[in-house]
Structure formats: C-alpha cells, structure tokens
Chain A
Amino acid sequence: MRSSTWKNSLAALAALALIPASVTAHTVKGTHTGSVTALTHYSSGTFHGAVDIGAGGRCNYWGAETGVVGSVYWAVTIRTTGVVCNGSGSGNQNEARHAWASGWTFRQWHFIKTADSRSRTCDRCQVGNIGGTGNSTGPHAHLQQDKLGTKDTSWYKGYVSVGTAVTRAKTIGVLD
C-alpha cells in the first residue's frame, strides 16, 4: 500500500477547470492568497481528504473568504476566541459550514474570530481572518466536502496540486 505523490509539473496540465455541469453546481475559489499545502493525503501519507491553503505564515492578515461562488447560507461556529495562529487543540477550530441537500456538507476551518464571524447568507464573504484555530500548526484554510461524514476527494483533485499558488480568482474545484 502506498500513497502516491504526483508531480506538480503534471498537475498544471491536468488542471481542467471544468465549468459546472448542472445549474445547481458551485465553483469553489481560493479563500485568500497563498498556496495549496495538503490534499487527499499529507506528505506523510496520512489521509486528509480536503484542501489546505496555507498563508505563508501570515496570521490574522488575510480575510477568510468563503470559497463557494454564489450565495449560500453559512452556519458559523466559534469554538476559539482570540488570535490563534498555531493551534488551539483538536476539535476547537472555528468553522463556516454550508449544508447542501442529501447530507452533503461543505466546511471551512481554522479562521480567527472577527466581527464578521456570524452566520448568514452571502457570496464569497469574510467570516474571520486566516489563522490556525483547532488542530493546526500554522495559519491556513481547510476546505472540505463530505457526505454524512464521509469525505469527498473528487471535487478538487485535478484542479490543483500541492504547491499550487492560490488567489481568490483561482478555481479550486467544483461541487456538483
């Protein structure tokens, strides 16, 4: 059993930024300026099943923007207050969560609480600042789609790879 690490150089050509195929599909864009630091597996081989976008060590600088393009309702849960850049313990991450139909959920984690950290409907709005609340060793955003708790790894790969530079204009994946 091995965990593959595909070459970044190949990924650029595989970055087929597919236009959503259905009217209910949503594109996901970068949450801040940074770079992808983890995808399905960490470099150690441990399963991750999500996209991590690092912030180059900058903490509490970038606004944490919701990545889903289009207006959806975000339930914001604050578990850690104060400026935390390097972790506040597993399970204590601040979270913005959107529940789709049929048990599908999109989650964004680890941001620092600000006055913007409240539940509401918006299109790519800010729910905090990029930080490292929860299980984190540095400021980053964690973007995850799951169904009933089972992580989906099909929405992002092929669009980005570890090391890919990210901006808010960059498509990370498509939720269909």
Chain B
Amino acid sequence: MKRLCLLLTLPLFPLLSTHAHAASTDAQPALRASTCSVRGLMDDIRRGLGSGSPSYQRYLRTLLREAAVTLPDAELRDAFARETEPVMAEHLAAALVARAEREADTQAMNVVAQRALHDADPSVRAATLRAMRRTSALERTGDLYERMVRDESPQVRQEAATNLIEDNAHVYAGQYGPAADTAVTAAVASTDPAVTARILDNLSTEKISAESADRITSLLRSDDASVRKAAVNALGGVPAEQMQGARESLLAMYREETDDGVRKALLQSVAQLGFEGAIPDLQRLRAMDPRLAREADAWIQVLGMGLQEWSLLLREKQRLQQAP
C-alpha cells in the first residue's frame, strides 16, 4: 500500500530542485515517463538527427537498442521493412540486431542480413551492414560476408571489410578461429584488391586453420603490391603449426620482391615469426637490400631487447623510430 501511495504521488509535474541555481526564461519541460513504442522512438530519433547535441543523439540510439528487447517484434520488423531512408533503416536494423544479441529474438539477425544482401539501394545495404558491426553476425549469417565483399558497390564492400576487421578484433580479440577463417575466406573471395588488402592487413591470424594459411600464402603471388603486402602481414601471425612454412615462404619471396613496402612487411613478419631467433634471418635480408638496412637494423635492435610479446615489440619499434 505504501508503494501504491508512492506511485500515486509521483510527480506528473517535475520536481523543483532545491538546488535550483538560476531561473530560466524557458518554462521547465513537463518530463513524464512513458512506455516506449517503435513509432515514438523512431519519431524521436528522426527529429533528434537535427539536434546539436551528440549526447542526445547517442542517448536516443542507446535507448532504442535497450528498449528493443521488449518492443513488439512484428511492429519493429514491419517498420524496418518499410523504412527506405538509410540512416533510419540503420537504427531499426540496430534494434533488431540488439534483439538477437540479447537473445530476445535469435532470428532477428537474419532479417537484417537479408536486407543487407538484397536491398536495391547500396546505401541501405551499407547501413544495415553497419548495424551488424561488433556483434555475433559472423556466427549467425553463413556466407553473408563472402557475398558482401563482392557487392557491386565499393562502399558496401568496404563496410563488409570493416565488420570483418572489427568483429575479429573487438568481439573475438583474435581468439576465435572460425571468425578469422570467415574473414580470410571473404578476403580471398573479393575481387577488389582494396578490400582484400584491408582485411588481411588488419586481421589477427593467430587461430586460423591450415587451409586459411594456404589461401593467404597463395596471395603472395598477387599482381597487386597492396595485396602481397597484406598477405605478408597476415602470415606473420599464423598459428605455431603454420609458422615454419610461413617463414620459408616469406624468406623465399624477399629476393624477388621489388616493392619496398612489401619488403618492409616481409622484414616485420619474419621478425614476428621468430622473435630473437629471427635476427640471423634479418641480418641476411639486410645484406640483400641496402635501402632497407635501417629498417632491418631497427628490427634487429628491438628484437635484441628480449621482449616476449609481439605487441610490446611493435610498440618499442615505433618508439625507437620516433626517437629524435
């Protein structure tokens, strides 16, 4: 009963703070708590796009995602199906994805994935892909990414690449082999060198399969230097079982490689594959190309510090080269 009274006395009219500092000429808004609805939230977001406050826009985005788990599913799906404006479609897609991620509706991700695949508007395809970023999409959407990296729109292809990179880095921290394998498959499937190179340049290959390692190795023969460089980078991080093969492939490649950027990447990956044990290899490679002597020396010096974590070695190399 006590609680009932409390509820009845809750202010419909906002409380005036005892700390009120200064009077405003504007009347105080009559803030009232209410039940969220799909339409109400979408109206708020649409109008909020014109707000000068990033905090307000962030609040509305978060509110929609948090409210999504209890919003009427059919209403949400209908609104998403009807929406053609990319920015609003992205919000609705994010709400559906949130339902999947919170496990309120495990099928909701498929609805978004289908739209990403089939919508006629590349901006909507790109927007729905963004809504699936940093989620479980790699576990739920089959060959979606293999298809999206071949989309006719360069923007869509790049959004797909970003998802593959960010999901592997931030959802899995490189520790989930199937997600990394999906990224490798997509990178190899893409006919856009910019997409292939970007995925492989930014992917942890720590847990990839032997098949994926082979696929990456095949890209060492690409005509595109950016793809070769990315493949070299990716091979630097392969699992222990693939390390010896990767090292041999990279050392064999160095002599014939003509691109300086690729050669620099080769030095780095040889360093990553061997740590201190790579110093003799690096000394040999240094002698082959005097133009990269400084780079090889930097690696030799950093590896000589004896640090046992690759991220620390990378950091110290950067520091060394930034030192005045």
Q: Do chains A and B touch in the complex (CB under 8 A)?
A: yes
Binding site for B on A (CB under 8 A): 24, 70-73, 98-103, 120-126
- Check B102–A121 contact: CB distance below 8 A: no
Residues of A near B152 (CB, < 8 A) are: none
Contact at B102–A120, with CB atoms within 8 Å?
no
Nearest neighbor of A72 in chain B, beta-carbon distance: B171
Q: How far is the CA of A122 from the CA of B100 in the complex (A)?
A: 8
- In the assembled complex, the Cα of A120 lies from the Cα of B134 at a distance in Å of 13
Chain A residues whose CB sits within 8 angstroms of the CB of B311 once the complex forms: 101-102
Inter-chain contacts of B136 with A (CB < 8 A): 71, 120-122
Number of interface residues of B (CB under 8 A): 20
Measured CA separation A123–B173 after assembly (Å): 16
Question: By the criterion CB–CB under 8 Å, are B139 and A121 in contact?
Answer: yes
Tell me, yes or no, whether B103 is within 8 Å of chain A by CB: yes
Q: Please, how many angstroms separate the alpha-carbon atoms of A100 and B171 in the complex?
A: 9
Return chain B residues, CB-CB under 8 Å to A121.
101, 135-136, 138-139, 171-172
CB of B98 closer than 8 Å to a CB of A: yes
Closest to A119 in B: B176
Chain A residue nearest in CB terms to B135: A71
Which of B98, B101, B169 has the most A CB atoms < 10 Å from its CB? B101
Inside 8 A of B170's CB, which chain A residues have their CB?
A: 24, 72
Q: Are A123 and B176 in contact (CB under 8 A)?
A: no
Is B135 in contact with A100, judged by CB distance below 8 angstroms? no
Chain B residues with CB under 8 Å of A123's CB are: 98, 101-102, 135
Residues of A contacting B171 in the complex (Cβ-Cβ under 8 angstroms): 71-73, 121
Known A70-B134, A72-B171, A98-B173; 11 more pairs at CB < 8 Å: A24-B170, A71-B171, A73-B176, A99-B175, A103-B309, A120-B139, A121-B139, A123-B101, A123-B102, A124-B102, A125-B102
Q: Scoring B residues 173 to 188 as 1 if CB is less than 8 Å from chain A, else 0, what string do you get?
A: 1111001000000000
The 9 closest A-B pairs by CB, nearest first: A121-B136, A123-B101, A71-B135, A125-B103, A99-B175, A101-B173, A73-B172, A71-B101, A100-B173
Q: How close is B252's CB to chain A, nearest CB, in angstroms?
A: 31
User: Which B100-148 residues have C-beta < 8 A from chain A?
Assistant: 101-103, 134-136, 138-139
Write out the residue numbers on chain A whose beta carbons fall within 8 Å of the beta carbon of B169. 101
A126 and B103 within 8 A (CB)? yes
Residues of chain A with a CB closer than 8 A to B103's CB: 122, 125-126
Q: What residues of A have a CB within 8 angstroms of the CB of B101 in the complex?
A: 71, 121-123, 125
A98 to B172, CA, bound (A): 8
23 contacts between A and B (CB under 8 A): A24-B170, A70-B134, A71-B135, A71-B136, A72-B170, A73-B171, A73-B172, A73-B175, A99-B173, A102-B309, A102-B311, A103-B309, A120-B136, A120-B139, A121-B135, A121-B138, A121-B139, A121-B172, A122-B101, A122-B136, A123-B98, A125-B102, A126-B103
B310's closest neighbor in chain A, by CB? A102
Kindly provide the distance from the CB of B117 to the nearest chain A CB, expressed in whole angstroms.
Answer: 21
Least CB distance from A44 to B in Å reads 35
